[in-house]
Structure 1
Amino acid sequence: MAQPPPHPELTPQFCFNTTVLKDFLRISRASIDDSITQNLNALLTPSTAGFDPASTSSRNPRASYTKRIPPSSCNSFKTQVLFPSWQSRSNVLNYCASVATSPDPEDPESPLREVENEKDRKRIVDERLDPYSARFFPREARTEMLAAVVRQERGVEDIVRARSWKVVGERCGEDWRDWEQAMSDWQKAKKSKIPFV
């Protein structure tokens, strides 16, 4: 069974380096969510039932998922692998969102942006002579760029989790909860030290 990558040290520098941030999220998703079918298949132990020679007498056009994964194995996978991985990514995104909404006195491009803004205020625009002269594209602050990355990654996270939860439901037995409710129940069970079901 795959294990999620280790939780990174959360610092503002980690968040502002969006390449590293995206790499952590990509590797975490690849090891757990993108390979969810393989991870769930690893929970099955087909040798326990023994080999049935009649199974080779006919060809089935499509593999069927009639074999359900035992509930204990499913719960173990959810509580030890899937939900901790999701929680780790949520923690990273929440931390980086808080960094993005905090003031950034150490922004290296702040003086340059101030100079550009001052030049723009002093600029005289005559659109009759040059209709494109009014265009001005100010530099974004790194907190604004980080906020955009966090918003985008949260959207991706919602899609990935919904897809993974659907596969888990198909293989482990349908759960009446959506992934958000199941994750919330797991967090409550973890805090109160009661078994998650």
Structure 2
Amino acid sequence: MAQPPNAPELTPQFCFNTVALRDFLRISRSSIDDSITQNLNALFTPSSTGFDPSSTTIRTPRSRRIPASSCNTFKNKVLFPSWQVRSDVLSYCANVATSPDPDDPEAVQRQAEEMKDRERMVDERLDPYSARFFPTEARTERLAALIRQERGVEGIVRARSWGLVSERCGDEGRDWEAALGEWRKGEERSSVLEKS
């Protein structure tokens, strides 16, 4: 069974390093969600009851139910923790994107561009496109756009993975958000019990 990658150290530098942020999300998704079928197949142990030679004469359907104990272990120890780590990273980086950025290395350049634009004389009769001004985006704006995009991808990936998990584990009737919410509540309860 695949193990999720370790959570990165959450710092603003990690978030602004979009290559590292995307790499973490890509590796986490590929180790758990992109290989969800293989992970689920690894949970099914047909040889647990012994080999039956007559089983080779009948073709069994591909979507066999996985034992509930194996499914619950996979969901609680691998799938949901992986999703939670990615949610934590995206939430932290979204907070960084909406916070003031006093260390922005491009702030001086943007201010110079804006001053130059204010001083510009525009004659739209000579060049109708000369009034266009495209200021350099702040790195917090670029990060916010990336986070919105990655949250959309995350929703699609989780819906696909949960569809396969619910089909193979018999967990129909709930969507991934409800299942993850229940898991979070259980984790909160268990951490409160451990502290007391």
TM-score range, shorter chain: over 0.9
Q: Does 1:147 align with 2:163?
A: no
How far apart are 1:46 and its partner, in Å?
1.4
How far apart are 1:127 and its partner, in Å?
1.0
Q: Does 1:124 align with 2:121?
A: yes
Measure the CA separation in 1 of the matches of 2:124 and 2:57: 80
TM-score (norm 1): 0.93
Secondary structure at 1:121 match in 2: helix
What is the CA deviation profile of residues 80-134 of structure 1, one whole-angstrom value per residue up to 9, with x for unaligned ones? Answer: 0000000000000000000000000100000000000000011111111112211
Measure the CA separation in 1 of the matches of 2:181 and 2:66: 23
TM-score (norm 2): 0.93
Shift of the 143–69 alpha-carbon distance from structure 1 to 2, 3 Å rule, reads same
Matched residue, 2:20: 20
* Counterpart pick for 1:156 among 153, 156, 178: 153
List structure 1 segments (4+ residues) > 3 angstroms apart after TM superposition: 55-58
Shift of the 176–105 alpha-carbon distance from structure 1 to 2, 3 Å rule, reads same
Query: Which runs of no fewer than 5 residues in structure 1 stay unpaired?
Result: none
Matched residue, 2:47: 47
Contact 1:43–1:69, Cα closer than 8 Å, also in 2: yes
Secondary structure at 1:10 match in 2: coil
* Counterpart pick for 2:69 among 69, 72, 76: 72
Contact 2:63–2:167, Cα closer than 8 Å, also in 1: no
Measure the CA separation in 1 of the matches of 2:171 and 2:117: 59
How far apart are 1:175 and its partner, in Å?
3.0
Secondary structure at 1:175 match in 2: coil
Matched residue, 1:81: 78
Secondary structure at 2:14 match in 1: helix
Matched residue, 1:183: 180
Q: Does 1:8 align with 2:8?
A: yes
Measure the CA separation in 1 of the matches of 2:10 and 2:29: 18
Contact 1:65–1:171, Cα closer than 8 Å, also in 2: no
Contact 1:93–1:154, Cα closer than 8 Å, also in 2: yes
Contact 1:127–1:133, Cα closer than 8 Å, also in 2: yes
Query: Which runs of no fewer than 5 residues in structure 2 stay unpaired?
Result: 192-196
Measure the CA separation in 2 of the matches of 1:117 and 1:166: 49
* Counterpart pick for 1:174 among 156, 171, 174: 171
How far apart are 1:66 and its partner, in Å?
4.5
Secondary structure at 2:43 match in 1: coil
Percent pairwise identity: 70
Q: What residue identity is the alignment partner of 1:92?
A: V
* Counterpart pick for 1:106 among 103, 106, 112: 103
Q: What residue identity is the alignment partner of 1:27?
A: I
Secondary structure at 2:3 match in 1: coil
Aligned residues: 191
Q: What residue identity is the alignment partner of 1:101?
A: T
Matched residue, 2:33: 33
